[in-house]
Amino acid sequence: MGLWQSYRLRWKRRRRLFLARQRGRELRALRDCTAGIRPGQILLFCCLRNELVRLPWFLEYYRNLGVSQFLIVDNGSDDGSTDYLCAQEDVSVWHTTGSYRGSHYGVDWMNYLLRRYGSGHWCLTVDPDEFLVYPFSDSRPLRALTDWLDASGTRAFPAMMLDMYPKGPITAQPYRAGTDPFEIACWFDSGNYTCRRNPAMGNLWIQGGPRQRTFFTDTPAKAPALNKIPLVRWRRSYTYVSSTHMMLPRGLNLTYERSGGEIISGCLLHAKFLDTLSHKAEEETQRGQHFAAGAEYRAYLEGLRAQPDLWNRWSEKYINWRQLEILGLMSKGNWT
């Protein structure tokens, strides 16, 4: 990378940190438990709107993995999410009616909280429909992973987002709060992915899966990115740039072995394709607050009218993390 590009990235990072401080003024604390944060605790950061039905399982799942504190931005929910979150002893809640699009789709709010509270901690930044699976996650807590990452000098842990879906129409089986979404959406694409390197930022750019083949058939290049860096040993100088797809400093994005070996990685099981998606797509299409004025949700809304079945004869039924490693979707690297 040349000197000019390095200079531009440094200024980009400084600008994003400045914007985070500015956008942080839009947040109003409704419940602040951060005084109880202790050294070594794993923190989870999340931005959401109207996700009440998802919250009970989401919180239980990550508590069971070993998350100690949840720091959540509520962007104007009116479905009871705010009251539910404020009733949780380990959840801090900030409310804002500010523009989701104006905050770089929530990234500025997350960067503000990460900078203020996350420094020195392993921080997990996820959406309420994303569930981290990592090597040995069925038998080892998240602390075991972060301890190993610390011992190996690794600062960031990557995870490919794996879209999960049911067999049959998405609306056929209603999802109920507090239940495991993967009892319904238990299928995924084992292949059909493209991967290329982003020369400017150094990260891998992954696309494909059921969203591309069903909702972006005619424009596959516009399909959502599946590469994420959700777990990071945070420092005040770090910043997310585009959701959790890439970061600055640029070196945090180099979470793969360029010489052909394998580096440890995980998957984010994505529980978007439940019967709740139709209502969510209508709401977000009208709001126009997501990327490209909600183009992704418009694609979902149009595609869902045909009652699509995302399942096909190449679909795989999810078993566990070892299955994902065998399929090459994640790796335990040299962690044993």
**Per residue in 221-245, pLDDT tens?**
889 999 999 999 999 999 999 899 9
**pTM, entire model:** 0.94
Closest CA to 127 of 24, 243, 210, 282: 243
- Identity of residue 90: D
Question: CA-CA distance, 58 to 107, in Å (whole number)?
Answer: 20
pLDDT of residue 301: 77
Is the separation of the CB atoms in 248 and 6 below 8 Å? Answer: no
All structural domains of the chain, each given as residue ranges with its CATH number in brackets, are: 3-326 (3.90.550)
Between the alpha carbon of residue 212 and those of residues 119, 296, 297, 307, the distances in Å are: 36, 11, 13, 16
Is the separation of the CB atoms in 211 and 220 below 8 Å? Answer: no
- Mean model confidence pLDDT for the chain: 92
pLDDT of residue 294: 58
Strand stretches in 50-168, DSSP E:
69-74, 91-95, 122-125, 130-133, 156-163
Closest CA to 107 of 68, 99, 158: 99
**Per residue in 241-299, pLDDT tens?**
989 999 999 999 998 876 556 799 999 999 999 999 888 877 777 776 655 545 777 77
pLDDT of residue 290: 56
Question: CA-CA distance, 110 to 23, in Å (whole number)?
Answer: 10
pLDDT of residue 259: 57
> Which residues are CB-neighbours of 153 under 8 A, at least 6 positions away?
none
pLDDT of residue 319: 98
Closest CA to 249 of 68, 61, 6: 6
**Per residue in 102-132, pLDDT tens?**
999 999 999 999 999 999 999 999 999 999 9
Closest CA to 218 of 162, 280, 160, 302: 302
Is residue 11's pLDDT more than 70? yes
